[in-house]
């Protein structure tokens, strides 16, 4: 039996979370069209006859001096050290640039950990784009295999698993065969809500959002789970945008969140109370960051 921990690394929006969800056949990690969606080291577990792969989805590696971004970089780097293998995902629709160079250089210094490279978004790539990305990878990480896949369309994903099992060490399963994540339920709820909130706003607002589940209570009497959560933004104007005209925005977020949160509590009723508040400068507040970037 094989068992390995695998860090998924790449630039923001490379498709890391999408790939993890495809592999686990479950929404384990939220995704968005806007970059810098993932903020935590999120585990997703895949098990089959060959053994178990315990993936860590990481925040997209983004070069920036802002406090929040530096913390996100630390999370991504930290998960490299804890892993038996690294899955390096490239979005070849964009030119490599400085950020990709920084990631490739960081991975090239890993002496013992095998790195599997994967060019993602094959469904929208030209041959020329694939070849450019391939040369970039072969030059910088000569001992790594380079695969091509579409995380979104589940193409080339089996090949990724084959390569990972090749380098995985022998070992007993660390999680039960049916496990697909180890995230606490409050965290999963807050992420679902954040995904829905991000999906209705644009520009810089997605980065100004975090979500906190204030209460989670199961009431036996009516078999209902009561959830009270806050969407927190930085400014009153952003709050207005989330709430929307006549409450349209928050209503949309609530309905979309409710559908997914309900799936986390099969056979139970769910009551979701959602509010918005502004908390200036939370992105530089270390107390908030310590709490949400576990």
Ligand X SMILES: Nc1nc2c(ncn2[C@@H]2O[C@H](COP(=O)(O)OP(=O)(O)OP(=O)(O)O)[C@@H](O)[C@H]2O)c(=O)[nH]1
Residues of this chain that interact with ligand X (CB under 6 A) are 10, 12-18, 31-33, 35-38, 59-60, 120-121, 123-124, 150-152
Nearer to ligand X (CB atom), residue 121 or residue 188: 121
| Closest distance of CB 261 from Mg ion, Å | 20
Tokens representing residue 249 in the block? 């925005």
Q: Which does 123 bind (CB under 5 to 8 A by kind): Mg ion, ligand X, none?
A: ligand X
Question: 87 touches which of Mg ion, ligand X, none (CB within 5 to 8 A by kind)?
Answer: none
Contacts of 10 (CB under 8 A, 6+ apart): 16, 60, 61, 88, 89, 90, 91, 103, 120
CB of 225 to Mg ion, least distance (A): 27
Euclidean distance between the first and the last CA atom of the chain, given in angstroms as a whole number: 31
Q: How far apart are CA 77 and CA 209, in angstroms?
A: 23
Draw the binding track, 29-48, toward Mg ion (x: CB under 5 A; -: no contact).
--------xx----------
Backbone angles phi, psi at 36, to 5 degrees: 60, 55
Q: Which is nearer to Mg ion, 16 or 239 (CB)?
A: 16
Query: Between residues 32 and 227, which has the closer beta carbon with respect to ligand X?
Result: 32
**In this structure, what DSSP letter does residue 181 have?**
B
Indicate the SS3 state at residue 225.
strand
Q: Indicate which single residue of 3, 4, 11, 17 sits in contact with Mg ion (rule: CB under 5 A).
A: 17
Residues 52/56/60/64 CA torsion (nearest 10 deg): -150
Cβ at position 291, least distance to ligand X in Å: 20
| Nearest residue to ligand X, by Cβ distance, number only | 60
CB of 198 to Mg ion, least distance (A): 11
Q: Report the residue number, 2 or 27, with the smaller CB distance to Mg ion.
A: 27
Say which entry of ligand X, Mg ion, none residue 12 contacts (CB below 5 to 8 A, set by partner kind). ligand X
Distance CA 294, CA 291 (A): 6
Tokens 């918005």 sit at which residue? Answer: 276
CB-based burial label for 100 (10 Å; 0-12, 13-18, 19+): buried
Chain residues binding Mg ion by CB under 5 A are 16-17, 37-38
């Amino acid at each position: 039996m094989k068992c390995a921990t695998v860090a998924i690394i790449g630039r923001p929006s490379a498709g890391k979370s999408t790939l993890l969800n495809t592999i686990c056949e479950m929404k384990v990690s939220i995704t968005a069209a806007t970059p810098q969606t993932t903020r935590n080291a999120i585990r997703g577990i895949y098990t089959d006859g060959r053994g178990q792969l315990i993936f860590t989805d990481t925040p997209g590696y983004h070069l920036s001096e802002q406090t929040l971004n530096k913390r996100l970089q630390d999370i991504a780097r930290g998960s490299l050290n804890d892993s038996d293998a690294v899955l390096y995902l490239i979005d070849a629709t964009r030119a490599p640039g400085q950020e990709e160079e920084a990631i490739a250089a960081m991975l090239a210094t890993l002496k013992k950990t095998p790195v599997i490279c994967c060019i993602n978004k094959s469904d929208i790539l030209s041959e020329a784009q694939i070849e450019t990305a391939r040369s970039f990878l072969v030059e910088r990480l000569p001992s790594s295999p380079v695969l091509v896949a579409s995380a979104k369309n589940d193409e080339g994903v089996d090949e990724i698993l084959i390569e990972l099992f090749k380098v995985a060490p022998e070992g007993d399963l660390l999680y039960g065969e049916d496990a697909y994540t180890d995230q606490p339920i409050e965290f999963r709820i807050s992420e679902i809500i954040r995904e829905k909130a991000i999906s209705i706003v644009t520009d810089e607002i997605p980065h100004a959002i975090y979500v906190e589940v204030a209460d989670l209570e199961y009431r036996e009497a009516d078999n209902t789970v009561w959830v009270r959560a806050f969407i927190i933004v930085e400014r009153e104007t952003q709050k207005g945008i989330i709430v929307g005209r006549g409450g349209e925005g928050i209503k949309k977020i609530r309905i979309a969140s409710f559908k997914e949160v309900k799936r986390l509590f099969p056979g139970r009723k769910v009551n979701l109370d959602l509010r918005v508040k502004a908390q200036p400068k939370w992105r530089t507040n270390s107390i908030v960051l310590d709490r949400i970037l576990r």
